[in-house]
Structure 1
Amino acid sequence: MWRVVVIEICQASLEDAKELLAIYAPYVEETAITFEYEVPSLDDFRERMKHIMRFYPYLVAKKDGVILGYAYAYAFHERAAYQWLAEVTIYLAKAARGKGLGRKLYEELEAYLKQMGVLNLNACIASTSKEDAHLTNASQKFHEALGYHLVVCFHKTGYKFERWYDMIWMEKALGEHPTPPKALRSFQEILGEER
């Protein structure tokens, strides 16, 4: 008998914070994907979510009610002229990696950002010239497969696990850059229009 696997992608809620933090914690403790040394407290993580969710999408992917990953966007920089740029981030549970879930999450995130009026996406990614147990360049390859291109590499910027890692920025344009650009709308406005 065949079983249809349905992945639901929806807006995160603050009640998801504990599950999301459980996905994030191994990235902090076991990898150089994030340059954080300590896993944030649940309260701190929830505050980060709250800050992002005021304006930007914060999405989760669920299968049978269990969260397998999350992706979100946030302001690239606080200066007004940068408002049409967003930085994007994604984290997947270990068992969910390599199955196309990341692509689905990012495609949904990008669709919302495009509706908001965001024109460029930027991803800050840990990188290495020599892969090891703490960092491969899988994130760079993932972003390349989704149309991102390398913009810059900062060498030896993050020190973790007794070695130096590079940091790269990758970029993807979501469309034309009109002059003047359309006013940016919040994710909440987009959701209101969908109802």
Structure 2
Amino acid sequence: MQIRTASPEDADKLLEIYRPHIENSTTSFEYEVPSVQDFQQRIQAILPNYPYLVSIENDHILGYAYAHPYGERKAYQWSSEVSVYIGKDAQGKGVGRRLYETIEDILKQQNVVNVTACVTSENENSIAFHQHMGYEITAKFDDIGFKNGKWIGTYWLKKVIGRQAATQAEKPQQEPAPFIPFSKLI
């Protein structure tokens, strides 16, 4: 299994993996499958600043993961949100773990301190996966999205991957190292 940076040319294969999460489940809160062109634009929008990775075996894309800003304000620059989607035939084979280990290593190089994930409350496998990867549930929002005829909640999970500034009680806090865009690392 190899992991490489995604490209817009991967969009159609990534959509094959993502489509069931939209059409057949509440894993994604999207209602309609994006076009290949829209998905290409999403990849292009993320890559300058954050990693967007694919896992490949025998020229077949098994899954993908990407990071993006946790929030728009400057104070959030050391926090990122991550997402992972694995093809049905590749689930349970360590693909998600390898993608997350790689993306977290890259985010550390970018001076990201906190990584978050938002998981729908019905996606128990993803919640368990994140907890296995060291993420802790930090928030739950009941009935926050409506899909497939019902209200669904979300869990926010968080993992500290970088050096946190000391608490005020210990010593004065110091600003973390500046965020480094992904394009500066590759």
Q: Same fold (TM over 0.5)?
A: yes
Distance 1:26 1:46 in 2: 18
| Contact kept in structure 1, 2:111 and 2:162, CA below 8 Å | no
Cα deviation digits, residues 60-99 of structure 1 (max 9, x gap) = 0000011010000001111000000000000000011111
Cα deviation digits, residues 13-42 of structure 1 (max 9, x gap) = 111111011110111000100011100111
Is 1:75 matched up with 2:62?
no
Choose from 41, 45, 60 the match for 1:47.
41
Amino acid at match of 2:134: G
Structure 1 spans left out of the alignment, 5+ residues: 1-6, 129-135
Distance 1:39 1:184 in 2: 32
Structure 2 spans left out of the alignment, 5+ residues: 166-173
**What corresponds to 2:145 in structure 1?**
158
Is 1:120 matched up with 2:114?
yes
Distance 2:78 2:177 in 1: 9
Secondary structure of the structure 2 residue equivalent to 1:184:
coil
Identity of aligned residues (%): 43
Choose from 171, 178, 182 the match for 2:158.
171
Distance 1:186 1:145 in 2: 28
Amino acid at match of 1:28: I
**What corresponds to 1:145 in structure 2?**
132
Distance 2:3 2:144 in 1: 34
Question: How far is the alpha carbon of 1:48 from its aligned partner?
Answer: 0.9
Provide the aligned C-alpha RMSD in A. Answer: 0.9
**What corresponds to 1:88 in structure 2?**
82
**What corresponds to 2:25 in structure 1?**
31
Distance 2:11 2:113 in 1: 29
TM-score where L is the length of structure 2: 0.93
Question: How far is the alpha carbon of 1:176 from its aligned partner?
Answer: 1.7
